[in-house]
Structure 1
Amino acid sequence: MYLIECGLWRIATETAAERKKTDADKSPSEKRADKDFYDSDLSEDVHFNSVSDKAHSRGPVFSFNERYMEMRCGALEEARGMISLMTLGGVLPSILVTGTSGIGWLYQDITTPDTRSIVGVLLALLMTGLSAGIIYLYYTYGLQITRLEMLTSRHLIVRFNRITQQVHLHRPKSCGGIVTFPWHTTGSTAIYPADDHLSVGMRLGLIWHPSKTGLPHLESAMVGKQGQGGSELRDEWEFIRRYMEEGPHAVPRPRLSTHLPSPIQAFSAQFEGLGRFVRNSSWLFKVCLLLLWPAFVIVGTAHWVSLMLCWRPRWPKVIREAGMPGKPVPPVTTLSDYPPEIQARLLANADRWELKPGKRPERKARKARAKATRNEQS
């Protein structure tokens, strides 16, 4: 499910009216937090020093060789199947029922004129109009939601090319499209051990800030599986870092996953990040999980169906051949790669990512702040 990726892209490309509405809904503290980011914060958060003694990837890794490594992206993979379930279990049956009913009434009126009546004609027109209305509403509003997990690329993927020292993101156009960044502009959310308690159930986040890429918007990718602790995310980042900095010999060879719509991927995704939690939970909680197995089966099946109704993502030729002898290096993504309308929207929202110059001021102790406040009031 590409809901978060699509939402972030829409934020970066909001119109003036949408931006005004979004800002109006924010609280004063949220507005201050959006602007509370300094140059020093970025320089501290983007580095390529070792952060773990154990380089390990929990996957899924689709390709791993001397030239490049491919991993799965996506922030809500465990929830994939819910949209498919609503579409295949709700919208399509409604269209089929109303459509076949309307056609059936019309066919009966045409073939058996003796039984024709005003009521029959009205019912045929009503059901046909209702079916047409559902199809129109679905095509106008629902199809774009369905394509967040069906009739689109099977997975969001990230390719790390160690020969060209570049990172490539493969996403649908509704999520920002295919982009290319230099490796050394990549930031990671898994750097500080102090943040480990905040990382339970999260994925490794990779971030490309405008001050590093030259683009007017922030880019990000959520890589791999959910972590059961921050240490797992740091191990994942260390795996990627060593591969890019030192080569495939510096990390253990990962188990490769298939690009095919595997049922194992569909059903196991629901339990990402739960292993440690379930092991440490009470027997009563484990019994409750067993009682919920029908729901897991339904969602897992819908997940599998969504994978089968998608196609394998395919890179452009220049990226597929990148790093081969005599082949060109893919150009880094720039603002000019986007359509003029998208360029204008990205530039209009560029102030979202501006950094305050200098270093973040040290926070005063609580007592000192309280004393300063009292002195100002007196």
Structure 2
Amino acid sequence: MYFVEWLMRRTLTASKKDITGFEGDMKQFEKATEKYGKQYRGMQERQVSDAPSDARSIYKMNDTYMDVRTFFDEWRGGVLLGLFPLIFGVIFFPVFILSEVTGIFFSGMVSQAGRVADTGDYLGAIILWVVWLALLLVFFYLFWIFRMECLVQRHIVVRFNRKTRKIYINRPNFAGGNQVYDWDDVVASVDPDDQVVTKKRKREILMLFFFKQRTGAEHHDVVFLGAPLRSDHELYALWEYIRRYMEEGPESIPKPKCIPSFPWPWRSLLAPWSFLENKWAAAPWSPRMIALVLIASPVMLLHAVAHWCSLLLCWPVYWPRQLRRESTASEPV
């Protein structure tokens, strides 16, 4: 799930040695950041939509702060499925096989057959131990991939505090770590001068940029905000929802239908469906779409199970004490 954030972090913090051969592209990128950093200054005061919407993306909202989800929550389970044979072998061997064959070295007997162990039995036991140690070595080598969606915090949360006028990002260190930015420094992936947006179904991502020219940080930063948005109209509506909350308060926007942070199984069923949702909306109940859903349903069910298991193997989002106190403060810190 955190692969895109990890990759983005590596790209934004790359040294000159790491970008050898791409110096021209990086110079163009830096020029673009300077342009957008100046062009969109003050966009927090400019309305971009007449219909603000929570876009199914709010965990919690009160008069002080609002917690918003990030985009790639549905993109999890693949690592767990890919590494399942390896994980199964690492667990299965010591519990069901090595515990049986190891007794040969102490008793000199094959307990299952009730006979004295011979050279082949000793050799077989050694080979099984070697196989398990090899599986264990490979697992530790690939553990950094496993941590992309398991044994890590369950979600990335972006908190907007309208009293301190700051944005707090809670995420794993390898994906960028916890960060605090001023609300006035953010640049969103919307164009305040272009409000011609459509409701045509397509997957959209609301991106928030924090350019180092504005934040004073050592590197640029970016977060991918919201649920899988279903049109650029919904993208603009979500940004307007956040903008009005920060600038005008919660009374200026509709009350959100908050999404649960607990990993309910039925929410994992919605994860694979999000990849077909727009296609289904374009031609609902058509024979072609029904056939596609029926054909894809086993894979979707497998994805849903892996998605849910991934959530269960993670822990709830934890805010460090200092960040928790500051991000929930009801007055400027």
User: TM-score range, shorter-chain basis?
Assistant: 0.7 to 0.9
State, as a whole percentage, how many aligned pairs show the same letter.
24
Q: Deviations over 1:51-75 (max 9, x none)?
A: 111110112311100000001114x
Number of the residue aligned with 1:264: 266
1:306 aligns with 2:310: yes
Give the unaligned 5+ runs of structure 2.
110-114
Alignment of 1:107-126 (within 5 A): 107-113=103-109, 115-126=116-127
Instruction: Please give the alpha-carbon distance, in whole angstroms, between the structure 2 residues aligned to 1:234 and 1:95.
Output: 47
Q: Which deviates more, 264-273 or 173-182? A: 264-273
Q: Cα offset for 1:274? A: 4.3
Alignment of 1:1-378 (within 5 A): 1-14=1-14, 17-20=17-20, 23=21, 30=25, 33-34=28-29, 36-37=31-32, 39-46=34-41, 47-48=43-44, 49-74=46-71, 76-87=72-83, 89-99=84-94, 100-113=96-109, 115-139=116-140, 141-191=141-191, 192-193=194-195, 200-272=202-274, 274-281=276-283, 282-322=286-326, 324=329, 329=333
Q: Deviations over 1:175-213 (max 9, x none)?
A: 121110000111101234468699931221111011111
Contact 2:181–2:215 (Cα < 8 Å) also in 1 = yes
Q: 1:11/1:328 Cα in 2 relative to 1: closer, same or farther (>3 Å)?
A: same
Instruction: Please give the alpha-carbon distance, in whole angstroms, between the structure 2 residues aligned to 1:39 and 1:189.
Output: 15
AA matched with 2:80: S
Contact 2:163–2:332 (Cα < 8 Å) also in 1 = no
SS of structure 1 residue aligned to 2:240: helix
SS of structure 2 residue aligned to 1:266: helix
Contact 1:225–1:272 (Cα < 8 Å) also in 2 = no
AA matched with 1:67: T
Instruction: Please give the alpha-carbon distance, in whole angstroms, between the structure 2 residues aligned to 1:165 and 1:96.
Output: 48
Contact 1:109–1:121 (Cα < 8 Å) also in 2 = yes
Q: 1:70/1:110 Cα in 2 relative to 1: closer, same or farther (>3 Å)?
A: same
Q: Kindly tell me the number of residue pairs found equivalent between the two proteins.
A: 320
Q: 1:198/1:167 Cα in 2 relative to 1: closer, same or farther (>3 Å)?
A: farther
Number of the residue aligned with 2:112: none
Give the unaligned 5+ runs of structure 1.
330-378
Q: 1:33/1:194 Cα in 2 relative to 1: closer, same or farther (>3 Å)?
A: farther
Contact 1:199–1:227 (Cα < 8 Å) also in 2 = no
Instruction: Please give the alpha-carbon distance, in whole angstroms, between the structure 2 residues aligned to 1:97 and 1:190.
Output: 51
Instruction: Please give the alpha-carbon distance, in whole angstroms, between the structure 2 residues aligned to 1:118 and 1:204.
Output: 65
Q: Cα offset for 1:127? A: 1.3
Q: Cα offset for 1:324? A: 3.8
Q: Cα offset for 1:35? A: 5.2
Q: Cα offset for 1:123? A: 1.6
Q: Which deviates more, 276-285 or 242-251? A: 276-285
Contact 1:78–1:269 (Cα < 8 Å) also in 2 = yes
Contact 2:104–2:122 (Cα < 8 Å) also in 1 = no
Q: 1:196/1:108 Cα in 2 relative to 1: closer, same or farther (>3 Å)?
A: farther
Q: Deviations over 1:91-113 (max 9, x none)?
A: 12222344443443221343244
AA matched with 2:48: V
Q: 1:306/1:120 Cα in 2 relative to 1: closer, same or farther (>3 Å)?
A: same
Instruction: Please give the alpha-carbon distance, in whole angstroms, between the structure 2 residues aligned to 1:240 and 1:212.
Output: 20
SS of structure 1 residue aligned to 2:230: coil
Q: Deviations over 1:19-71 (max 9, x none)?
A: 33xx36x9x7x567535526333322341210111110112311100000001
Contact 2:199–2:234 (Cα < 8 Å) also in 1 = no
